[in-house]
């Protein structure tokens, strides 16, 4: 399988480039593209092999996402959400996992953050709530909804007092989609709010977040929030490559107003392209180094120690923000050209600045990882 998934992603880049504006205007991933991604195996990347998934090493999943993002950031975003959501099956009973992942094209999407409540009753839970950032959910067969668990009127907690969340798996007919996704960037992700009003979820369809792992496999040692941040960074890195390539192509043919030289022959262009390339390559190197080191540890059956979880989150946050810096350079170099809808640079610029707003790659992550590097007492629940 090694390399095949990335090759399939590469084969779709031109299609995504041609359909990027269509994806944005639709404010969601068109169903035929979502189906094509399913057939390519992208949504199976993190599904346990024993249930028909690929259970791919995280580096391969993220390289596929990064490749797709060269064509369109929104499409790549939907792929990483669909792919990483498949890890929930590793924490479900086999009966439920096989029930949910009934075909190789099954798509799971949702929100792991515990935005809702799940009240325990006989045989399962009664779910209420509204979840933002439901990327790709309108194409999904099953919707994952993170909840605080309430039993006998009390919120269940871990020993340290932090609420113990549960991941509720709902069929799409139990979910109401709200038209809330009117945004500046990543418009094509369809990250609309979804709402659940008293739906019942049987006990077998509830997975833990940061809790039990029924399948003790290396991939499932990676925390869900860590995988989420890795996907955000992979999308950002792919978009950065696209932005630099777009600017380089433009620089050969554009002669700025009041200038006799092409953009490529201006020293400021040469300097900023070099800076952007260095930002991208250095951030990408740290990103994959951190993931590969964590994977090596996970393969030894040691779980994922705090040092590896820290480095993955630091590398992903850095990669996302370094990508934004590099894209800003390319957007500014292009001058007035970059503001037209016909230029991919304007969309990439808007997309990356939505990616940087995600809490998984916020500046708070730098404070958290910085405390650990300084040896200070730190609440590591978010790692």
Q: Are 127 and 182 in contact (CB under 8 A)?
A: no
Encode 299-337: b = buried (16+ Cβ within 10 Å), e = exposed.
eeeeebeeebbbbbbbbbbbbbbbbbbbbbbbbebbeeb
Tokens of 95: 């009966």
Using the predicted structure, report yes or no on whether residue 54 has a pLDDT greater than 70: yes
Q: What is the pLDDT of residues 196-208, one digit of tens each?
A: 999 999 999 998 7
Q: Taking the model in full, what pTM does it have?
A: 0.95
- Report the SS3 class of residue 215: coil
Using the predicted structure, report yes or no on whether residue 31 has a pLDDT greater than 90: yes
Q: What is the mean pLDDT of residues 231-257?
A: 95
- Domain 222-373 CATH superfamily: Butyryl-CoA Dehydrogenase, subunit A, domain 3 (1.20.140.10)
pLDDT at 213: 59
Using the predicted structure, report yes or no on whether residue 209 has a pLDDT greater than 60: no
Residue (of 210, 114, 94) closest to 168 by Cα position? 114
Which residues have a Cβ under 8 Å from the Cβ of 2 and sit 6 or more positions away?
Answer: 60
pLDDT at 3: 80
Using the predicted structure, report yes or no on whether residue 329 has a pLDDT greater than 80: yes
pLDDT at 161: 76
Question: Between residues 164 and 288, which one has the greater pLDDT?
Answer: 288
Using the predicted structure, report yes or no on whether residue 2 has a pLDDT greater than 70: no
Lowest mean pLDDT, pick from 26-35, 249-258, 296-305, 311-320: 249-258
- The β-bridge partners of 119 are 126, 150
- CA end-to-end distance (rounded Å), the chain: 30
Within 13 Å and on the Cβ side, how many CA atoms surround 12? 30
Using the predicted structure, report yes or no on whether residue 15 has a pLDDT greater than 70: yes
Using the predicted structure, report yes or no on whether residue 250 has a pLDDT greater than 70: yes
157 pLDDT band, cuts 50/70/90, is: confident
Lowest mean pLDDT, pick from 119-128, 212-221, 348-357: 212-221
Using the predicted structure, report yes or no on whether residue 260 has a pLDDT greater than 80: no
Mean pLDDT, rounded, of the chain: 94
Using the predicted structure, report yes or no on whether residue 316 has a pLDDT greater than 90: yes
pLDDT at 322: 98
Q: What is the DSSP string of 94-108?
A: HHHHHHHS-STT--E
Q: What is the mean pLDDT of residues 340-349?
A: 96
Question: Per-domain residue ranges for the chain?
Answer: 4-90, 110-208, 222-373
pLDDT at 93: 92
Q: What is the DSSP string of 218-286?
A: GGGGS-HHHHHHHHHHHHHHHHHHHHHHHHHHHHTT---TT-SS-GGGSHHHHHHHHHHHHHHHHHHHH
Q: Are 358 and 232 in contact (CB under 8 A)?
A: yes
Q: What is the pLDDT of residues 354-366, one digit of tens each?
A: 999 999 999 999 9
Q: What is the pLDDT of residues 276-299, one digit of tens each?
A: 999 999 999 999 999 999 999 999
Residue (of 144, 354, 365) closest to 235 by Cα position? 354
CATH class of 110-208: mainly beta
Q: What is the mean pLDDT of residues 247-253?
A: 95
Using the predicted structure, report yes or no on whether residue 138 has a pLDDT greater than 90: yes
Using the predicted structure, report yes or no on whether residue 159 has a pLDDT greater than 70: yes
Q: What is the pLDDT of residues 62-88, one digit of tens each?
A: 999 999 999 999 999 999 999 999 999
Return the CATH fold of 4-90: Butyryl-Coa Dehydrogenase, subunit A; domain 1 (1.10.540)
- Report the SS3 class of residue 199: strand
């Amino acid at each position: 399988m090694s390399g095949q998934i990335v090759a399939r992603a590469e084969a779709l880049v031109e299609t995504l480039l041609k359909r990027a504006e269509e994806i944005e205007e639709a404010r969601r991933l068109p169903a035929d593209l979502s189906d094509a991604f399913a057939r390519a195996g992208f949504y199976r990347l993190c599904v346990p092999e024993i249930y028909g998934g690929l259970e791919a090493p995280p580096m391969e999943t993220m390289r596929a996402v990064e490749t797709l993002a060269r064509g369109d950031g929104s499409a790549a975003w939907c792929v990483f959400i669909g792919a990483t959501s498949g890890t929930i099956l590793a924490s479900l009973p086999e009966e439920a996992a096989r029930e949910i992942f009934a075909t190789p094209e099954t798509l799971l999407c949702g929100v792991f953050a515990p935005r809702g409540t799940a009240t325990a009753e006989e045989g399962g839970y009664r779910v209420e709530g509204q979840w933002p950032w439901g990327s790709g959910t309108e194409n999904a067969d099953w919707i994952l909804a993170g909840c605080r668990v309430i039993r006998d009127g009390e919120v269940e907690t871990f020993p340290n007092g932090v609420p113990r969340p549960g991941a509720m798996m709902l069929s799409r007919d139990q979910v109401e989609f709200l038209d809330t996704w009117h945004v500046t960037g990543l418009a094509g992700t369809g990250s609309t709010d979804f709402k659940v009003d008293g739906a019942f979820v049987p006990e077998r369809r509830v997975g833990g977040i940061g809790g039990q792992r029924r399948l003790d496999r290396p991939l499932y040692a990676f925390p869900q929030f860590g995988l989420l941040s890795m996907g955000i960074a992979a999308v950002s890195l792919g978009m950065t490559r696209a932005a630099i390539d777009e600017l380089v192509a433009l620089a050969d043919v554009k002669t700025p107003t009041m200038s006799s030289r092409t953009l490529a022959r201006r020293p400021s262009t040469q300097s900023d392209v070099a800076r952007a390339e260095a930002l991208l390559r250095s951030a990408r190197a740290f990103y994959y180094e951190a993931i590969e080191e964590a994977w090596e540890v996970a393969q030894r059956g040691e779980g994922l120690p705090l040092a590896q979880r820290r480095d993955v989150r630091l590398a992903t946050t850095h990669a996302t923000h370094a990508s934004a810096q590099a894209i800003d350079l390319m957007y500014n170099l292009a001058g007035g050209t970059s503001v037209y809808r016909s230029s991919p640079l304007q969309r990439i610029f808007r997309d990356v600045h939505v990616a940087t707003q995600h809490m998984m790659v916020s500046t708070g992550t730098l404070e958290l990882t910085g405390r650990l590097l300084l040896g200070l007492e730190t609440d590591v629940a978010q790692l």
